[in-house]
Structure 1
Amino acid sequence: MKSLPGALALILAAAVVSSGCTPSSADTVAAQPAAASTAAPAPAPMAASFVPPPEAAIPAGPLGEVIRQGRAIFTDTPTHARAYVGNDLSCSNCHLDAGRQANSAPLWGAYGLYPQYRKKNGRVNTLGERMQGCFRYSMNGKAPALDSAEMVALETYAWWMAKGAPVGVALKGAGYPKQGFKPPRPPDYARGEQVYAKNCALCHGSDGQGQQVAGRNVFPPLWGPQSFNWGAGMHQIDNAAAFIKANMPFSRGDTLSAQDAWDVAMFMDAHERPQDPRYGGDLSETRRKYHDSPMSLYGTEVNGHLLGSSPARP
């Protein structure tokens, strides 16, 4: 197993060479064993951000009904796709403003880039298969069938959000803004704990378990049994830092320094969460196969605890 200091020694160097986030979601760039990339180079971003159609423009009739169903699933996933969700998160907890907000992996930025090759599973994925991964990792649940009503509705909502956008073009504002984004110093747990207490605990709680009203998340849990599992892209420090820098604190994105964003991402991701569903009984082997990156703390020791070795607790 790797110790925390050994992993952190590589993080800053890795950040320097990190490319921009694939404009679909953080999971797309999850760490894999080192290998020559077979992915085609991403096309140059557009000069201006794409503006998706307003909700009021959803058409009437059967098509509009399915678009609205997709939006409902996206914004309140535990209610509208309960059979496939293993925690209390909704898609819109990370893809903000019902999947509309630039720099938070908006749906309109992902739709036109699929099918695409993903290192995470070593093959070309359709958009539906990409969404299935969200259910498995971010929702800590199980994947709906590609022809299920839930998956059809989500893909239809994504299609409608991207109406008018060019196909095969990496749109500005898609994904999380990672290009050239690195901290002056390697991220630090103790500094991150201070950033969290000052900027995050008010909404997400001092214990990281978020806040609920009437059984529905107002602010999502960031670690523990109801958060995303160790297979989700947000468990990687660089993905979390890029999302935090652009979007957090909520409604006050881009107010934290790059250093603060990396520090608090490290603090958040240094907590236990549900097991990676690809875990085969050997923590070291699971890290080697799926987390062989300084951006992943899975299988490293933090404050005397070996992450991934015990059930997640608040």
Structure 2
Amino acid sequence: MKFKSPKPRKSGKQLLVVFSFIIVLIFIFFFLFQYEFFETEYTEISEEKTDPLTADYDTYFLDDTRENKKIKYGYELFVNTAQYLGPQNGKREKAYSGNNLSCNNCHLKAGTKPYSGMLIGVINRFPQYRGRENKIGTIEERINGCMERSMNGNPLPPNGDEMSAFVAYMKWLSRFSPENGKVKGAGYARIKIPEREVDLEKGEMLFIKKCAACHGENGQGIPLRDYAGYLYPPLWGDDSYNIGAGMARVITAAEFLKTNMPYGVSYDKPELTDDEAYDIAGYINQKDRPDKANRELDFPDLKKKPVSAPYPPYADSFPVSQHQLGPFQPIMEFYKNEYGIIKTK
């Protein structure tokens, strides 16, 4: 009788070893690829969901890489302009600003507050056409426009450390913005322009009631004690913006005031009415302030000049006083009928 030899059976221990080996391979494969997989997934989700208006813009937490140092220097220049670039900075070769204002005085919260000349997204909108120069301009030229007008000073060297730092800071502020740079809260909020001349008496009363606590009845602001600059800036006089600045226009100033003053208000919770902002802006801008060198060269095409630009020449025959105090609607109507140009300020 022949006997078939039984097939050897794998023991339970052998099966357990094989099964464990497969499990280990799965874990090894998972851990080799999980970091790259999750990192990519997280980054894509983060970029899609980051709201440029609620993002973190605190430079304090940036490390000291070369680029981050430049960003932090740009922030310092922006909020403490007078200490670095003002006439009292201790370095004559760096005194590009002619007054002791800071960029932060007009572009509030270091350029991040909506409807206060907010800078979030702004660099993505350059190069851009500007009627004041009647050409396509760079962000560097725009910055120097502020230096020569709001800061009543001289242009920064286009390739210097300070210009590079300003640009780096603006790029950093725009890192979550869309490619076209269009972010809600850009520029200033529109107001309904009263169809009348500015009431200077009412503007003065409103200024004393709403503004004098910070800026003083004489409009000279409150200077910092230990450093060059202001806690609250002067609104007229030798240390204020010059007549060529955008804020010297009644309509522009009224738009800024409506959603930003008194300090602490916002677009959603304004304190001034359109009429009140209009009268205060007119009162402030009737005060003496520095002239702008070569201002006759502004707006080579005079048809592009804002109706509230406070200095001639103009492409119309309306008096200077009406360009300064209104009413502005007849001037706007003239440009619409004569040149087919619709003006809003």
TM-score band, normalised by the shorter chain? 0.7 to 0.9
Offset, 1:301: 5.3
5+ residue gaps, structure 2: 1-50, 87-94, 313-319, 323-345
AA at the equivalent of 1:71 = Y
Structure 1, gaps ≥5 residues long: 1-47, 303-314
The equivalent residue for 1:210 is 221
Select which of 147, 167, 170 maps to 1:155.
167
Q: Could you say which residue in structure 2 is the equivalent of 1:249?
A: 262
Give the counterpart letter for 1:79 in structure 2: Q
The answer on whether the counterparts of 1:53 and 1:163 sit within 8 Å (CA) in structure 2 is no
What residue in structure 1 maps to residue 251 of structure 2?
Answer: 238
Aligned counterpart for 2:198 among listed residues 187, 194, 198: 187
Contact 2:122 2:181 in 1 (8 A): no
Matching of residue 78 in structure 1 with residue 106 in structure 2: no
Partner of 1:19: none
User: Quick one: which amino acid aligns to residue 248 of structure 2?
Assistant: H
User: Is structure 2 residue 62 aligned with structure 1 residue 58?
Assistant: yes
Q: 1:34 aligns to what?
A: none
Q: TM-score, normalised by structure 2?
A: 0.67
1:273 maps to 2:289: yes
d(CA) in 1 for partners of 2:163, 2:75:
12
DSSP-derived class of the 1:260 partner: helix
CA distance in 1, matches of 2:61, 2:118: 18
Give the 5 Å matches for 1:98-109: 98-109=110-121
Amino acid at match of 1:207: N
**1:50: Cα distance to partner?**
3.0
> What is the CA-CA distance between 1:274 and the residue it aligns to?
0.5
Q: Deviations over 1:138-182 (max 9, x none)?
A: 00000001111000000000000111211224211011112x532
Given residue 119 of structure 1, which amino acid in structure 2 is its aligned partner? G
Match of 1:226 among 231, 239, 261: 239
- Partner of residue 73, structure 2: 69
Residue type at the aligned position of 1:235: A
Give the letter for the 1:232 counterpart. Answer: A
The answer to whether 1:263 aligns with 2:279 is yes
- RMSD over equivalenced CA pairs, Å: 2.5
Q: Distance in 2 between matches of 1:50 and 1:146?
A: 29
Contact 2:96 2:147 (8 Å CA) reproduced: yes
Note the alpha carbon deviations across 1:173-196, whole angstroms, 9 max, x for none.
011112x53236442211111110
CA contact (8 A) 2:123 2:181 kept: no
The whole-number CA distance in structure 2 between the counterparts of 1:268 and 1:296 is 14
Counterpart CA distance in 1 for 2:302 and 2:220 is 29
Q: What amino acid is aligned across from residue 233 of structure 1 in structure 2?
A: G
SS in 1 for 2:230: strand
Q: Is the 1:67–1:154 contact (alpha carbons within 8 Å) kept by the matching residues of 2?
A: yes
**149, 153, 171: which one aligns with 2:183:** 171
The answer as to 2:308 corresponding to 1:295 is yes
Change in CA separation of 1:242 and 1:280 when aligned onto 2, cut-off 3 Å:
closer
Per the alignment, residue 332 of structure 2 pairs with none
| Mapped partners of 2:81, 2:177: distance in 1 | 26
CA distance in 1, matches of 2:304, 2:136: 20
**Structure 1 residue aligned with 2:109:** 97
Q: Which region of structure 1 is more displaced relative to structure 2, 113-122 or 77-86?
A: 77-86
- CA 1:169/1:213 → structure 2, altered by over 3 Å: closer, same or farther? closer
Matched letter for residue 188 of structure 2: Y
Report the CA distance shift for 1:222/1:161 in structure 2 as closer, same or farther (over 3 A): same
Match of 2:146 among 112, 128, 134: 134
SS in 1 for 2:120: helix
Q: 1:52 to 1:200 in 2, by over 3 A?
A: same
The residue number in structure 1 matching 2:155 is 143
Partners of 1:188 and 1:263 within 8 A in 2:
yes
Change over 3 Å in CA distance of 1:268–1:130 after alignment to 2: same
Identity of aligned residues (%): 33
Give the conservation status (yes or no) of the 8 Å contact 2:150–2:241.
Answer: yes
Deviation, 1:52, is 4.0
Q: TM-score, normalised by structure 1?
A: 0.74
What SS is found at the alignment partner of 1:108? coil
- The CA deviation string for residues 25-48 of structure 1, in whole angstroms up to 9 with x for no partner, is xxxxxxxxxxxxxxxxxxxxxxx8
1:94-132 deviations in whole A, cap 9, x for unaligned?
A: 000111111111121411111100001111111111001
Task: Report how many residues are paired.
Answer: 251
Q: Which structure features the higher share of helix residues?
A: 2
Larger radius of gyration: 2
